[in-house]
């Protein structure tokens, strides 16, 4: 994982302006089209990867309460903001880990037993107790469900498109579950990594399928929509590419979350300037319905509260969110995590499954 250094590196990047000719103005909210707005944050810099020049202003739409950058990098120039990015590295694969022993071996067998039963994988070692014990371990189950994006088990031959596939971590999970999985990404370096791992990864965006329709049974958008210049049009294209009855998985930061309110400019979900729009729940639901999706299901990802708080704490301390310092949250923050998860509107991420009407 890239380890950007410090607040000094972020401030240094911010001192160099983004070229004015490569900026574009945003006259209306990209989520709902509203023109009323209020200032949310000013002078934001790339404190996560310290790769993007410039200082940025984030506005809140007074109609849908989403937040968006104005001005923002143009589509032609934004690639420079990804010169350093987490999708260029791979997770440490199961095959590279040390053999598990003791309680770790038992936990791995239970985890494999659950995902084998729920998602159709054939991972070993496996315990049949996994699916029975999963309800007693909700945090662990939620993490496994998020890895497989809460999707139903595929029927033979069903196709899945992962938009923003990065280094192919999810493509591996999807293939293990039986999907005929294809990934696309605009980042050449990330695509190269995915291909080296044996994945069907293609360079480009959803425009690679222009003129096509009804060719996928599932499409996944994990932390993609906030990077898109025209999110409403993007969701319409996703709807077109799904077969009747098909499903889209969507996961994106929630600008109304507890973390966004608590951490302000240091909230990990901002990630300026790569996150062009950060949605409210009502805005996201409105865009999905306008694109033609029905039967929208919310999935809770409350287990991410700790990691988001810790990443935000590190950013506030001028550290990398991917570093090791601070190593733990202050006591008061740890106690907050014991509070009930509360409303879906307070979740760090908005996570949904939305379906295209069947035949």
For residue 1, the model assigns a pLDDT of 47
* Domain chopping of the chain, boundaries: 7-87, 150-356
User: CA-to-CA distance for 257 and 281, rounded, in angstroms?
Assistant: 10
Q: Tell me the mean pLDDT in the region 201-210.
A: 96
- Check pLDDT > 90 for residue 173: yes
* pLDDT of 96 over the 50 cut: no
Cis peptide before 163 (omega within 30 of 0): no
Are 30 and 276 within 8 A, CB to CB?
A: yes
Q: Give the residue from 268, 240, 242 showing the smallest Cα distance to 253.
A: 268
* 6 and 318 Cβ atoms separated by less than 8 Å: yes
Q: Token match 């589509």: residue?
A: 75
13-39 per-position pLDDT tens digit: 778 999 999 999 999 999 999 999 999
**Can you tell me the distance from the alpha carbon of 258 to that of 323, in angstroms, rounded to the nearest whole number?**
23
Inter-CA distances, 243 with 72, 169, 190, 356, Å: 34, 25, 28, 7
pLDDT in tens, 213-266: 999 999 999 999 999 999 999 999 999 999 999 999 999 999 999 999 999 999
Q: Are 302 and 287 in contact (CB under 8 A)?
A: no
Q: Which of 244, 290, 254, 294 lies closest to 275 in space, CA to CA? A: 254
User: Residue 328 phi/psi, 5° resolution?
Assistant: -150, 160
Nearest to 278 by CA among 301, 251, 245, 304: 251
CA distance 153 to 148: 10
Q: pLDDT tier at 83 (50, 70, 90 boundaries)?
A: confident
Q: Is 96 exposed, middle or buried (0-12, 13-18, 19+ CB in 10 A)?
A: exposed
pLDDT above 70 for 86: no
Using the 8-state DSSP alphabet, how is residue 347 labeled? Answer: S
Task: Provide the sign of the torsion angle of the four alpha carbons 219, 221, 225, 228, taken in this order.
Answer: negative
Q: Which two tokens stand for residue 305?
A: 């509260």
Output the pLDDT for position 87. 62
What tens digit of pLDDT does each residue of 266-323 get?
A: 999 999 999 999 999 999 999 999 999 999 999 999 999 999 999 999 999 999 999 9
Hey, what CATH topology would domain 150-356 get?
Rossmann fold (3.40.50)
Please tell me the pTM assigned to this model. 0.93
Burial class, 182, CB count within 10 angstroms (exposed 0-12 / middle 13-18 / buried 19+): buried
pLDDT at 339 over 90: no
Average pLDDT across the chain, whole number: 92
Say how many C-beta atoms besides its own lie within 10 A of residue 206's C-beta.
20
Q: Which positions ≥6 away from 211 have C-beta within 8 Å?
A: none
């Amino acid at each position: 994982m890239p380890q950007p250094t410090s607040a000094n590196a972020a401030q240094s990047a911010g001192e160099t302006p983004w070229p004015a000719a490569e900026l574009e103005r945003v006259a209306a909210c990209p989520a709902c089209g509203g023109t009323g707005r209020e200032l949310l944050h000013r002078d934001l810099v790339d404190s996560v990867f310290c790769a993007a020049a410039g200082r940025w202003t984030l506005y809140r739409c007074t109609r849908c309460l989403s937040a968006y950058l104005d001005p923002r990098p143009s589509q032609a120039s934004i690639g420079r903001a990804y010169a350093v990015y987490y999708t260029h590295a791979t997770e440490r694969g199961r095959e590279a880990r040390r053999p598990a022993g003791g309680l770790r071996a038992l936990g791995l067998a239970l985890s494999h037993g659950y995902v084998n039963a729920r998602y159709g994988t054939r991972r070993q070692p496996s315990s049949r107790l996994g699916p029975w014990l999963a309800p007693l371990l909700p945090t662990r189950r939620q993490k496994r469900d998020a890895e497989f994006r809460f999707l139903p088990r595929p029927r033979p031959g069903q196709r899945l498109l992962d938009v923003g596939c990065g280094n192919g971590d999810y493509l591996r999970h999807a293939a293990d579950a039986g999907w005929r999985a294809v990934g696309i990404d605009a980042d050449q370096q990330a695509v190269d990594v995915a291909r080296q791992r044996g994945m069907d990864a293609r360079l480009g965006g959803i425009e690679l399928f222009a003129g096509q329709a009804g060719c996928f049974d599932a499409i996944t958008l994990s932390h993609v929509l906030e990077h898109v210049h025209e999110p409403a049009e993007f969701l319409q294209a996703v709807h077109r590419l799904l077969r009747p009855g098909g499903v889209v998985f969507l996961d994106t930061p929630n600008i109304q979350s507890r973390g966004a309110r608590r951490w302000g400019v240091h909230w990990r979900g901002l990630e300026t300037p790569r996150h062009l729009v950060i949605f409210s729940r009502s805005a996201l639901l409105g865009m999905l319905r306008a694109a033609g999706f029905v039967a929208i299901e919310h999935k809770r990802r409350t287990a991410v509260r700790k990691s988001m708080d810790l990443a935000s704490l590190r950013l506030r301390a001028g550290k990398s969110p991917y570093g090791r310092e601070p190593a733990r949250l202050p006591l008061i923050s740890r106690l907050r995590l014991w509070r009930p998860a509360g409303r879906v509107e307070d979740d760090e991420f908005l996570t949904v499954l939305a379906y295209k009407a069947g035949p």
